[in-house]
Structure 1
């Protein structure tokens, strides 16, 4: 599942020719990183994270969210305890993992999971289309000699912390309902 396809980007830009497909594909590929930095993984992928529960923990919070499923929880040191995923409760949005038996996690652990979303929300896809459009227009001269899409239409205003001028406010507003909680990146 792709965040955005070349055909969707071409439709957003009203392009019918294949002349710019190779260059446009670069833009399509590039928008995934800034969007996922803001809202977490969209495209499903395997992720592995190390967690320290040496002193014992009732719950651990995964750093990568959202989580589609846990694959395994294995010890990183010889003699450590494995935790079968069937015996765990996962909150896919917050990444909190607890044991069903209310026991404690112990040891250095490696959590392997499928992170991302089962489907790309329509609003996220639209934000990706608009981001491609914004970036594409900064490279295309307008007929009057200025940059296409200039003026207030794609204005970023003040630089946005972590994003600078590359991501317009309208894209961030569309992504806001899916934004990662503070402290998660």
Structure 2
């Protein structure tokens, strides 16, 4: 599963033929980490995190969300305890992991999860298409400064602090319902 395919990007840009495919594929590949910065993993992948539960914890809160499944919870030290994944309860959106028996996690732990989404919502896909369109058009400005296709639809008068001009507001607005909670990135 891909966030965006080359064919979808070409359709968004109304490109026919394959003369721009190699260059456009770079843009398609580049938008995934940008989108994931705002909403977490889209394309499923294994993620390994370390958690310190030496004082005992009722729950572990994963730093990567959304999570499809917990693959393993293993001790980092030989004297530690492993936790069977079928004995865990996961909240995939918040990344909270609890023991089904209401026990405590203890020790330094390595938690391996499968993070990402099973499918890409049409809204997230549209945001990726629009981001590719924005980047494609802004890099193709004519000598006079006007954007390819005319007008200034892809110009941004003021950047959002820290974002520069790479991600237009219309893309951020589409991603808003899927945004990571504050403090998660």
What is the TM-score with the length of structure 2 in the denominator?
A: 0.95
Counterpart position of 2:81? 81
Alignment of 1:17-36 (within 5 A): 17-36=17-36
Q: Matched residues in 1 for 2:131 and 2:58: separation?
A: 41
SS of the residue 2:15 aligns to: coil
Q: CA deviation at 1:120?
A: 0.5
- Give the alignment's TM-score, normalised by structure 1: 0.95
CA distance in 2, matches of 1:128, 1:180: 17
SS of residue matched to 2:167: coil
Cα distance between partner residues in 1 of 2:34 and 2:125: 13
Q: Over residues 133-177 of structure 1, what are the superposed CA-to-partner deviations in whole Å (9 max), with x where a residue is unaligned?
A: 000001223597622266552233322234221000000000000
1:171 equivalent in structure 2? 171
Aligned residues: 185
Q: Distance in 1 between matches of 2:182 and 2:153?
A: 29
Return the alpha-carbon distance in structure 2 between the equivalents of residues 57 and 78 of structure 1: 19
Give yes or no for contact 1:134–1:149 (8 Å, CA) kept in 2.
no
Cα deviation for residue 7 of structure 1 reads: 0.3
Query: Which runs of 5 or more residues in structure 1 are unaligned?
Result: none
Q: Does 1:68 align with 2:50?
A: no
Cα distance change of structure 1 residues 150 and 178 upon mapping to structure 2, 3 Å threshold: farther
SS state of the match for residue 31, structure 1?
Answer: helix
Q: Quote the Cα distance in structure 2 between the aligned partners of 1:61 and 1:150.
A: 48
Where does 1:42-53 land on structure 2 (aligned, <5 Å)? 42-53=42-53
Say if 2:91 is the partner of 1:107: no
Whole-angstrom distance in 1 between the partners of 2:90 and 2:51 = 15
**1:40 paired to 2:40:** yes
RMSD over aligned Cα, in angstroms? 1.5
Distance in 1, Cα, partners of 2:67 & 2:157: 34
The runs of at least 4 aligned residues of structure 1 exceeding 4 Å deviation read: 142-145, 149-152
